[in-house]
């Protein structure tokens, strides 16, 4: 990984995206729950103090207030850690946000997603948030891979009137995208073409999938790589094309293999083009450690993704 | 939007309350389900509020300057729908569809499914937070409306209520958010003092609110309490109305069995007679 100079955490994109939305005329109001120094929401508050509130350690109240603001026409953003948002306030998201009038205009931006939150240990490591968020009927759910993708994704959901959940991460990660990148809600990005297998990833696992494709290429295996940043609605066309054209699919996510990206992709293929699949994720609770150490501890590595690809390919008929 | 209402006489309010009570009993009977007890206890609060204090125009239910009434105790839909219908938001004919397939009158309120329904409910403890959001938006936009939030006393068990209760004074929203507690002393499983003892006046006072207590079935007292709640103060105001669950129907009064149960036809006839005779 040689792009350390451009490394930035996806969570750092949040205030930039909010400021951009306001500058584009979106009537943003943002709320934090005593974690704004970590979600970076405070930076938006410094720029637009009249548009930013902090409610103390009270995620349920935060969701309700956001729903009220949205009911009055505001685009309400709320931020916390992915273990607390949606975990601590799921019922409020369901009753006060998802159900009224087909879904109120509330955007959750949950930082510190997945196990790369690191040293804080298992209680802080969200591996259920995508399952919860995707289960809320009108919600869009996005897991960006780098700073630029996160910024554009937050801007994109900010321009819809639907509720949304965007998961960002704590550690600084290398850039995946250059200046020409354009995020499109609901569309996968083909990062590498290939014919033998497709690696579908989101978030920090996009980088791992790209490196896995390199490993596979050394063995003569041609792997396509899709950044499926939008987990819901998943890009059905890209998934179907991948199955038709490569015949095997691996999903990779920093989340349980149930209820997240793997489930979404498998559902599309079960209905359309069933092909051998393998699922890379985290199906156990964790421990403390540095974020990159934890990626190895949980086996969220390029080697594991490559092994999953070989395994899926071996089941082709 | 009217900023003051021509006062409706106490006698007239009492007559409206009788009609509301009759609707409640008939709706729950017709649906053979629903929550009569906590609906009957809230009638005077709701009638005094909707006819004498809430600045609304039922013909223009989405006016951004309207006062909001937010039913946090969402199971009290028989009361809520009956009040909205009698106040002119929709036809009383619709009340017959309560809880039935195809009717917008769901068992718990669905926001905007009907004119005047401000919030989706049914999961307790969420109304005060929702009101804060409205109030903050109102202040940002320079609007003067107030949010009146009705809570049950069993609902005060929910922690979110207190997250919101501390936020109202913190955000300086006392002129924009007014809480009403229907203190009927009974919750789903039984008497509140046995299920989870609370002291609503002391609890709200501890969170920095001005507490106004009244007999929740003395219409003049309720009307006066709501007027006092409207008067500016450095603290936000909560009206704790001491009420009787099932008020106005002898066999439902103070009977935990009628929190969420429908009467029989014979019971309905007795109830309607008692309501007409003004037991309440």
Same domain, A155 and A16: yes
CATH of the domain at A86: 3.40.50.970
Give chain A's mean pLDDT. Answer: 96
CA distances B247 to A68, B32, B36, B264, B278, Å, are 32, 19, 9, 18, 11
Using CA atoms, how far residue B270 sits from A12, A59, A180, B55, B277, in Å, is 66, 47, 76, 36, 11
Contact B134 A58 (CB under 8 A): no
Domain-embedded: residue A236: yes
* Domain identity same for A160 and A225: no
Q: What is the DSSP letter of B7?
A: P
d(CA A149, CA A131): 21
What is the pLDDT, as a whole number, of residue A179?
Answer: 84
Q: Above pLDDT 90, what percent of chain A? A: 97
Extended strands (E) in chain A: 8-9, 28-32, 52-54, 75-81, 106-111, 140-142, 164-167, 172-173, 189-192, 197-201, 223-227, 230-232, 249-252, 277-280
- Is the pLDDT score of B1 beyond 90? no
- Report how far apart, in Å, the C-alpha atoms of B203 and of each of A109, A204, B111, B125, B207 are: 33, 47, 30, 15, 7
Last residue of a domain, one of A173, A203, A228: A173
pLDDT of residue B4: 59
- A130 found inside a domain: yes
The number of domains in chain A is 2
- Quick one: A266 and A304 in the same domain? yes
- Rounded to a whole number of angstroms, the distance from the CA of B69 to the nearest CA of chain A is 12
Average pLDDT over residues A184-196: 98
ipTM score? 0.95
The residues of A assigned a catalytic role are 59
Whether A44 and A165 share a structural domain: yes
Across the range B39-45, mean pLDDT stands at 98
Q: DSSP code of A313?
A: H
Mean pLDDT in residue range A224-231: 98
How distant is the Cα of B81 from the closest Cα of chain A, in angstroms?
17
**What residues in A contact B138, CB-CB < 8 Å?**
72
Cβ distance A64 to B137 less than 8 Å, yes or no, reads: no
Same domain, A136 and A249: no
Listed in sequence order, the residues at least 6 apart from B135 whose beta carbon sits closer than 8 Å to its beta carbon are A68, B147, B171, B173, B176, B177
Mean pLDDT calculated for residue range B78-99: 97
- Cβ contact A58–B167 (<8 Å): yes
CATH 3.40.50.970 is held by the domain B10-277? yes
Residues A152 and A251 in one domain: no
What is the tens place of the pLDDT at every residue in B132-190? 999 999 999 999 999 999 999 999 999 999 999 999 999 999 999 999 999 999 999 99
Distance CA A167, CA A230 (A): 10
Domain that holds residue A50: 4-173
User: Is there a single domain that holds both residue A11 and residue A109?
Assistant: yes
Contact criterion met (CB below 8 Å) for B245 and B186: yes
Residues A139 and A201 in one domain: no
Average pLDDT rounded to a whole number, residues B248-262: 92
Give the pLDDT of residue B72: 98
Shortest distance between the Cα of B215 and any Cα of chain A, in A, equals 30
Could you tell me the pLDDT band of residue B278, with boundaries at 50, 70 and 90? confident
**Are the C-beta atoms of residues A179 and A205 closer than 8 Å to each other?**
no
**Interchain proximity A69–B112, CB inside 8 Å:** no
The pLDDT of A119-130, averaged and rounded, is 96
């Amino acid at each position: 990984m040689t792009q350390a100079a451009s490394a930035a955490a996806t969570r750092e994109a949040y205030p930039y995206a909010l400021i951009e939305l306001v500058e584009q005329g979106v009537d943003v109001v943002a709320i934090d729950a005593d974690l704004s120094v970590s979600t970076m929401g405070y930076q938006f508050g410094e720029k637009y103090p009249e548009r930013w509130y902090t409610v103390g350690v009270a995620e349920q109240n935060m969701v309700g207030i956001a729903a009220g603001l949205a009911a009055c026409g505001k685009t309400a953003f709320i931020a916390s850690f992915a273990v607390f948002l949606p975990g601590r306030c799921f019922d409020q998201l369901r009753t006060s946000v998802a159900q009224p009038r087909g879904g109120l205009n509330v955007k959750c931006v949950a930082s510190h997603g997945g196990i790369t939150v690191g040293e804080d240990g298992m209680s802080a490591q969200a591996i259920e948030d995508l399952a919860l968020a995707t289960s809320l009927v009108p919600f869009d759910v996005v897991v960006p891979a780098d700073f630029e993708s996160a910024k554009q994704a937050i801007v994109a959901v900010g321009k819809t009137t639907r509720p949304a959940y965007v998961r960002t991460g704590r550690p600084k990660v290398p850039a995946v995208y250059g200046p020409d990148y354009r995020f499109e809600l609901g569309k996968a990005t083909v990062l590498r073409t290939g014919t033998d297998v497709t690696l579908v990833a989101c978030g920090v696992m996009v980088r791992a999938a790209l490196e896995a494709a390199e490993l596979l290429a050394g063995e003569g295996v041609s792997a396509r790589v899709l950044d499926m940043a939008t987990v819901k609605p998943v890009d059905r066309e890209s998934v179907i094309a991948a199955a038709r054209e490569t015949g095997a699919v691996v999903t990779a996510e920093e989340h349980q293999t149930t209820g997240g990206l793997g489930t979404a992709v498998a559902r599309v293929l079960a209905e359309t083009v069933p092909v051998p699949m393998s699922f890379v994720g985290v199906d156990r609770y964790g421990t403390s450690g540095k974020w990159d150490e934890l990626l190895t501890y949980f086996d969220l590595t390029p080697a594991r993704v490559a092994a999953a690809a070989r395994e899926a390919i071996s089941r082709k008929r | 939007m009217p900023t003051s209402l021509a006062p409706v006489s106490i006698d007239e309010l009492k007559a409206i309350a009788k009609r509301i009570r009759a609707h409640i009993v008939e709706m729950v009977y017709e649906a053979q389900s629903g929550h009569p007890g906590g609906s009957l206890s809230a009638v005077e609060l709701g009638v005094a509020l909707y006819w004498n204090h809430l600045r609304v125009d039922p013909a223009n239910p989405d006016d951004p300057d309207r006062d909001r009434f937010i039913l946090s105790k969402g199971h009290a839909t028989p009361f809520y729908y009956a009040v909205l219908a009698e106040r002119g938001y929709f036809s009383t004919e619709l009340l017959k569809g309560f809880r039935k397939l195809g009717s917008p009158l769901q068992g718990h309120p669905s926001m905007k499914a009907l004119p005047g329904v401000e919030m989706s409910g049914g999961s307790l403890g969420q109304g005060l937070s929702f009101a804060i959001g409205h109030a903050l938006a109102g202040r940002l936009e320079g609007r003067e409306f107030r949010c009146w939030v009705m809570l049950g006393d069993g609902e005060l068990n929910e922690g979110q209520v207190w997250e919101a209760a501390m936020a109202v004074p913190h955000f300086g929203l006392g002129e924009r958010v007014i809480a009403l507690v229907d203190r009927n002393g009974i919750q789903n499983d039984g008497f509140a003092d046995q299920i989870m003892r609370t002291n609503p006046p002391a609890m709200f006072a501890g969170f920095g609110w001005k507490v106004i207590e009244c007999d929740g079935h003395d219409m003049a007292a309720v009307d006066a309490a709501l007027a006092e709640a409207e008067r500016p103060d450095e603290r936000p105001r909560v009206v704790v109305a001491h009420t009787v669950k099932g008020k106005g129907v002898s066999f439902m009064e103070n009977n935990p069995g009628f929190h969420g149960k429908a009467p029989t036809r014979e019971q309905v006839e007795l109830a309607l007679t008692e309501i007409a005779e003004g037991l309440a």
